[in-house]
Structure 1
Amino acid sequence: MDNVGCDFSPMKQTLKEDIHQVIKALQNNVEVMDNENYCLLGAFEKIKEDFLSIEMKAATFYLNCYLSPFTDKYPELSICVQNMSKLKHGGLIVIQREDSLQSLLKPGIPIGAELTHSLLQSIFYPGSPLHDGAVLVSHNHIVSAANVLPLSDRFTGEKKLGTRHRAAIGLSEKSDALVLVVSEETGRVSFAIDGNLHPIITHASI
């Protein structure tokens, strides 16, 4: 991942405490394994949930760090994806950073408007003529909507992802763009960067 300019110290301390709690839980499970009446499955499920929570905290923090040098509109983006998550409105938002994306996108419909959460939400409202495809954001503006992104072919078989997630990963494999994805099936929000997908915290996931 990129180097980021955010002060990681407070988040690092929080993550250390959370990781220590998971280690403690694992140690407790090791100690009770000799008890034949103790079932580890429930404990493993809880530990998996705790790991996911740690990842989501870190990813949510990093998201702002990755975006802040390239747009002042992080609050608007955050409100948008939180609201879309609650409503389970699917969405795909590309934030252009240093790399040119012209050769990687199949261009959509020009918008050329200042980025606001209400405009973004209206674009992705189900039934809107622009809700399919990706919105392209550059600096503080919505450049275009209904763009088509290259699809990643890395996720096949059992680990099958939907088209939006494959598109997000696909573009992030070929550029330094950051791509936000809202799942219409679950309402979960993730972002893709460097070919990897990271879940972030929303009200729906708390």
Structure 2
Amino acid sequence: MLEGIKMEVQENLKDIIIRSEKLIKELRSDTQCLLCELEDIKKGFYKIQSAASTFYLRAYLSNYIEDFDALATAINHLAQTRHGALIVVQRHNEIASHIHRGITVNAELSSSLIESIFYPGNPLHDGAVLIKESMILSAANVLPLSSINAGESKLGTRHRAAIGLSERTDALILVVSEETGKLSFAKDGSLYPISTNNL
């Protein structure tokens, strides 16, 4: 898997270099759309970051979750259907004092259970699922919100909640955007995109 990600990063970097060199040569042209080219280069960097962060997500979770594939399957399906989700994976730090505890689940981790929890209309779909090792401990948990907004657009409540908890604990928080279906995870107060191709 690491080799595949390295190849993907290498190909995207080569493409960015080619586009950048072309842009430098054509800067004097009045017909060149500088903004369009810069947007394409930005998308290339996003692909690189997304591939790398997906690899690191697996590495960060490998010692803390027994069935990563079940989690990966669930967030992929949630992304495809644009069912928003917020999933907390507890690592070293206890997080009980940082969240408002929701409904106790105490069930073995499975993709179908995670997907059903976040199905629109389910009473538990608002809030976060808390996972520890191979267990879904609770659902509908309320997380502390971060006061920051990242990037050029305002962050939604799920993303701010993910960042907020990651600012206070070492938990990893996965987010599925209801609006876009994009995946990301929060760690140490930062949000990173996840590529579904590498999960």
CA–CA separation in structure 2 for the residues paired with 1:159 and 1:149: 21
1:33 is aligned with what amino acid?
L
2:28 corresponds in structure 1 to 34
Gaps of 5+ in 2: none
AA matched with 2:35: L
Q: What SS does structure 2 have at the residue aligned with 1:164?
A: helix
Equivalent in the alignment of 2:50:
56
Q: In angstroms, what is the RMSD of aligned CA positions?
A: 1.9
| Contact 2:93 2:171 survives alignment (8 Å) | yes
Shift of 1:104: 0.4
Helix, strand or coil for the counterpart of 1:119?
A: helix
My pick for the range that moved more, 44-53 or 165-174, is 44-53
- Does 2:55 correspond to 1:22? no
Name the structure 2 match of 1:3. Answer: none
Q: Which residue of 2 aligns with 1:70?
A: 64
Residue 181 (1) aligns with residue 183 (2): no
With normalisation by structure 2, the TM-score equals 0.92
1:153 to 147, 150, 168: 147
Secondary structure in structure 2 of the residue aligned to 1:70: coil
- Residue from 176, 182, 202 that aligns with 2:196: 202
Distance 2:165 2:143 in 1: 6
Aligned to 2:89: 95
In structure 2, do the counterparts of structure 1 residues 88 and 14 end up closer, same or farther at CA, with 3 Å as the change threshold? closer
Deviations 1:142-171 (A, max 9, x none): 000011100000128964211110000000
Instruction: Find the aligned partners of 2:59 and 2:150 in 1 and give their Cα distance.
Output: 31
CA distance in 1, matches of 2:137, 2:32: 57
Amino acid of the residue matched to residue 128 of structure 1?
N
Counterparts of 1:117 and 1:183, CA distance in 2: 18
Unaligned runs of 5+ residues in structure 1 are 1-6
Identity of aligned residues (%): 48
- 1:111 counterpart SS class: strand
Count residues with an aligned counterpart.
197
Post-superposition CA distance 1:99-150 (Å, at most 9, x none): 1101101111111110000000111111111111100000010000011100
2:66–2:133 CA contact under 8 A, matched in 1: yes
* C-alpha distance in 2 between matches for 1:34 and 1:130: 57
Q: 2:186 aligns with which of 188, 192, 196?
A: 192
Structure 2 letter corresponding to 1:148: V
- In structure 1, how many angstroms separate the alpha carbons of the residues matched to 2:190 and 2:150? 15
In structure 2, the partner of 1:138 is: 132
Find 1:115's aligned residue among 97, 109, 115. 109
Residues 1:164 and 2:158 are matched in the alignment: yes
